[in-house]
Amino acid sequence: MDAGSDDSDKPVSHQGSIFKRLTSPFQNLFKREKLPSISWDPSDIYDFTHTNRGLMIIINNEHFKSHGPRPGTDVDVENLKSTFTDLGFDMQIHHNKTYKEMMKIFKSAAKRDHSQSDCFACIVLSHGDEVRMIDKHRPDQLERLDVIYATDGIMFTKDIIQQFSDLKVPSLANKPRLFFVQACRGSSLDSGVPLPVGDLDMPDGEMPRVEVSPCPLYKDSLIMYATPPDAVLLWLERLHHNMYNVNKME
């Protein structure tokens, strides 16, 4: 080998074989006919050219009358504040609010004029749980509902989201509403399940399927939870951050 030559750019034979083995299940997909190009209807794209990005409300409940505290949650708030400030949001941060105080905050935000805003966002960090109530449309069945804890009681998650419907906030019509909830949604632990990987050409009847329960659809709303339904949210106090943590993007 000549002095000064560089082998760093030469291919390593075993790397090619490993890559082939890893990608072999997808080869048939790559060989399929090219999909037709998609033409976008401008009406399907949100308008993010308004004067303001929008209002961001953060409710951070750490101390409660009937539950233990949530130490470390302030770190999450600082990270969220940094990230969403960089994204141009007008921040409102509220700590340790009662049920009435939380509803007052949401109703006040709903009364604002959002006509010059791109969107609206809300984050709630608190304890949470689930309740089962008789479904008014199907009296023989129970409806599962998520709840969030105020410092003095509970509120239904859906009651927060419904405060910002088109009917109640016309200036948010056709604009995205973003809701992030960091709270438990039950008491079960999600231990996970094996995820089988099959051939992409396997008949549909043989592919593994996951049953998904119907959930309410809220127009122009993105609703993100830290946990799946029925599950408890685990967080590590010693690391001073929760599992659902939005870190500042470099």
DSSP letters for 187-212:
EE-----------TTS-GGGS-----
Q: Given pLDDT bands bounded at 50, 70 and 90, which one contains residue 19?
A: low
Counting the structural domains of the chain, the total is 1
In the predicted model, is pLDDT for residue 235 greater than 50?
A: no
Summary mean pLDDT of the chain? 76
Residue 153: CATH number of its domain: 3.40.50.1460
Q: Domain for residue 209, yes or no?
A: no
Domain assignment present for residue 53? The answer is yes
Does a structural domain hold residue 226?
A: yes
Which residue would you say has higher pLDDT here, 168 or 136? 168
Taking only the tens place, the pLDDT of each residue in 172-218 is 999 999 999 988 765 545 555 555 555 545 555 555 544 444 444 57
Q: Describe the strand order of the beta sheet including 221-225 as a list of residue ranges.
A: 90-95, 52-60, 117-125, 177-182, 221-225
Whole domain around residue 161: which residue ranges? Answer: 49-186+216-231
The model's pLDDT over 29-39, given as tens digits with 9 standing for 90+, comes to: 555 556 566 67
Q: Report d(CA 171, CA 160) in Å as an integer.
A: 17
The 10s digit of each residue's pLDDT in 75-96 is 999 999 999 999 999 999 999 9
pLDDT tens across 97-143, in order? 999 999 999 999 999 999 999 999 999 999 987 777 666 777 777 77
The pLDDT of residue 114 is 98
Is residue 245 assigned to a domain? Answer: no
Judge whether 196 lies within some domain: no
Q: What is the per-residue pLDDT for 8?
A: 46
Q: Does the residue 4 lie in any domain?
A: no
Q: Is residue 71 domain-resident? A: yes
Catalytic positions are: 127, 184
Q: How many CA atoms lie within 13 A of 181 on its CB side?
A: 25
Tell whether 220 is covered by a domain.
Answer: yes
pTM over 0.85: no
Q: Which residue has the tokens 């119907």?
A: 214
Does position 14 have pLDDT exceeding 60, yes or no? no
Q: Where are the beta strands (DSSP E) in 61-204?
A: 90-95, 117-125, 128-134, 142-150, 153-156, 177-182, 186-188
| pLDDT over 60 at 9, yes or no | no
Q: In the predicted model, is pLDDT for residue 25 greater than 70? A: no
Q: In the prediction, which pLDDT does 67 show? A: 84
